[in-house]
Structures are given as structure tokens and as C-alpha cells.
Amino acid sequence: MKIPEHVALSYLVAQLGVQQQYGPWGTVAMIAAGCLPDLDGLTLLGGWRCYRTYHRILGHGILVTLVGPFMLAALAAFAFGIGPIWPLWGWLQMSLLAHLFVDVCFYRWPVQLLWPFSNRGWGFGLLSWNDLVPTLTLYAAAAITLAWPSTGAKCAAGAIGINLLYLGWRAWQPEPITAWGRLAGWRLDSP
């Protein structure tokens, strides 16, 4: 997924309870947690080689997964008076884990979930890079939720459910590899 889709997914996950319990600042914290792994995208500032070496590694590893949501929950509790902290930490953890789940399932670019303890990466590649079904589903549900907030939980559950069903369908019926699809294969052999 690209960053706007991660934002939409995190926003929708927040509609399942955080928005109701913690208000808008809780939703902001959920979006921050859902985008936290992609902070390693800033490695692009070090050049393409640096980006290819460290993206989907630094921010997607176990240390950020365990420490990042706690730090965000503590910051939200301190800065915005949001509490209690432990249930919020659980929600933020869920948002970050949703990010990792879609990164592993959607594309073939491996995600090193256990870095720095292991260099093993996972990437199932169930969807093509430009598959619009998840994108349009998430954007539509987020737009409806913004327009009619009372529908937030139902829209979120519906959009997440549709995406999980679509992912299951793509696992059962993979998309045929076209000439464009073979061009993305260079990532499989990257260091």
C-alpha cells in the first residue's frame, strides 16, 4: 500500500472504537501509528541505493513494532490528555500491525518484520502494485465516514471486510502476470 491508503486504513480502524473513546486526537494517533513503519521511506533522502537497502526494514522491524505504539500512546497521553494509556496502546498496536499485514500480503517486496534480529523478509505478492480495488474501497469508506460520521463503524467494518475477502480471493485466484508484472520482479533479488 502507498501512504494515502495506509492513512485511510488507519482512519477506518480508528472508527471501530478509538474515535468514540478518544475523540479526534485518538484518531490522529491511530493514523500516526498506521504510518509509523513508513518513516523508513525517508531513507530516500539518502539516495535510491539507501532507500532500496533500508525501506521495509528499519521502520517495519520488531523494535518499532513494539516501542513505536507505546511512545505514541505516551505522547498522546501527555500532550493531549488522552487516557487511559494501555487501551490506547492496544489500538495503536492494531493500527501498526494492520500496516504490516497489508505490506506483507499485498506486494512481493519483502518486509523484514524481525529486523535487527533476523534478515528474513516476507512478501506474498497477492496484489499488483496498481490494483485499485483496495484503494477505491478504502477511499470510498473514508469519504462516507467523513461525510456521515454516524456510519463510521459500519463503513470501516465493511471496507476492511471487503478488502480481506478480496485478498482471500486473490490468494485463491492469483492475477495473471503480464509483461508489466514481470518488471516488478527485480525487487525479489534485491539485497
Q: Exposure pattern of 56-73 as b/e (b: 16+ CB <10 Å)?
A: bbbbbbeebbeebbeebb
Q: What whole-number percentage of the chain has pLDDT above 70?
A: 92
- Better pLDDT: 175 or 86: 86
The residues, ordered by sequence, that sit 6+ positions from 150 with a Cβ below 8 Å of its Cβ are none
Q: CA–CA separation, 9 vs 152, rounded Å? A: 12
Lowest mean pLDDT among 149-158, 159-168, 177-186: 177-186
Checking if the pLDDT of 49 tops 50, the result is yes
pLDDT per position as a tens digit, 127-154: 887 889 999 999 999 999 999 999 999 9
Domain ranges of the chain: 3-189
Task: Supply the pLDDT for residue 52.
Answer: 82
Task: Supply the pLDDT for residue 36.
Answer: 94
CA atoms within 13 A on the CB side of 8: 22
Grid coordinates standing for 119?
534478515
Question: Can you give the pTM of this predicted structure?
Answer: 0.86
Checking if the pLDDT of 50 tops 70, the result is yes
Tell me how crowded residue 170 is: count the other CB atoms within 10 A of its CB: 20
The residues, ordered by sequence, that sit 6+ positions from 138 with a Cβ below 8 Å of its Cβ are 5, 8, 9, 12, 159, 163
Task: Supply the pLDDT for residue 189.
Answer: 47
Q: CA–CA separation, 84 vs 162, rounded Å? A: 32
Most confident of 35-39, 73-77, 84-88, 158-162: 158-162
Task: Supply the pLDDT for residue 65.
Answer: 94
pLDDT band for position 56 (50/70/90)? confident
Task: Supply the pLDDT for residue 40.
Answer: 87
